[in-house]
Structure 1
Amino acid sequence: METSTKDFWENRLAEDWTETGVGYRALGAAFNTWMYRVRRAVFLREMAAAPIDLPTAEVFDIGSGTGFYVDLWRELGVAGVTGSDITTAAVNNLRGRFPDSDFHPFDAASPELPVPAGAYDIVSAMDMLFHITDDAGHAQALRNAARLLRPGGLFVFSENFLFGPEQRGPRQVNRSMHTIERELAAAGLEPIRHTPMFVLMNAQVDAPWLRRRAWALVMRTVTAAGLGGLAGRLLYPLEMRLLASRREGPSTELMICRRIEQQ
Structure 2
Amino acid sequence: MATHSEIRDFWEHRLEQDWTESGVGYRALGRPFNTWMYRVREEVFLREAGRVGAGGASVLDVGSGTGFYVRQWQRLGAGDITGCDVTDAAVARLRQRFPDHRFVRQDAADLDAFDQDSFSALSCMDVLFHITDDERYAGAVAEFARVLRPGGALVISENFLRRPEQRGEHQVNRTLEEITGILGKAGFDLVRRVPMLVLMNAQVDAPTPWRKAWGGVLRAATVTPATGWLAGAALYPLERRLVRMCRESPTTELLVCRLRD
Whether these two folds match at TM > 0.5 is yes
Residue 221 of structure 1, CA deviation: 1.0
The gaps in structure 2 that reach 5 residues or longer are none
Q: Conserved in 1, the CA contact under 8 Å of 2:222 and 2:231?
A: no
Name the counterpart of 1:170. 169
How big is each residue's C-alpha offset from its partner over 1:217-247, in whole Å with a ceiling of 9 and x where there is no partner? 1111112254111011011101111111111
Kindly indicate whether residue 257 of structure 2 is the aligned counterpart of residue 245 of structure 1.
no
Q: Aligned to 1:31, which of 30, 33, 51? A: 33
In the alignment, what sits opposite 1:116? 115
Shift of 1:211: 0.6
1:90 match = 90
TM-score relative to the length of structure 2:
0.96
Question: How do 1:96-135 and structure 2 match up within 5 A?
Answer: 96-110=96-110, 112-135=111-134
TM-score normalised over the length of structure 1: 0.95
Gaps (5+ residues) in structure 1? none
2:232 counterpart of 1:232:
yes
1:137 — aligned with what?
136
The aligned counterpart of 1:79 is 79
Question: In the alignment, what sits opposite 1:7?
Answer: 9
Residue type of the alignment partner of 1:31: F
How far apart are the structure 1 equivalents of 2:155 and 2:224? Answer: 36
Amino acid at match of 1:126: M
Q: Is the 8 A contact 2:205 2:251 kept in 1?
A: yes
Give, in whole Å, the separation in 1 of the partners of 2:83 and 2:51.
Answer: 23
List structure 1 runs of 4+ shifted beyond 4 angstroms.
none
Cα distance in 1, alignment partners of residues 229 and 159 from structure 2: 25
Give the number of equivalent residue pairs: 258
User: What is the SS of the residue equivalent to 1:55?
Assistant: coil
Mapped partners of 1:73, 1:146: distance in 2 = 20
Q: Distance in 2 between matches of 1:92 and 1:225?
A: 31
- Residue correspondence of structure 1 range 63-78 to structure 2 within 5 A: 63-78=63-78
Give the SS at the match of 2:222.
helix
CA RMSD in angstroms comes to 1.3
- Equivalent residue number for residue 56 of structure 1: 56
Corresponding residue number in structure 2 for 1:209: 208
Shift of 1:56: 2.2
Identity %: 54
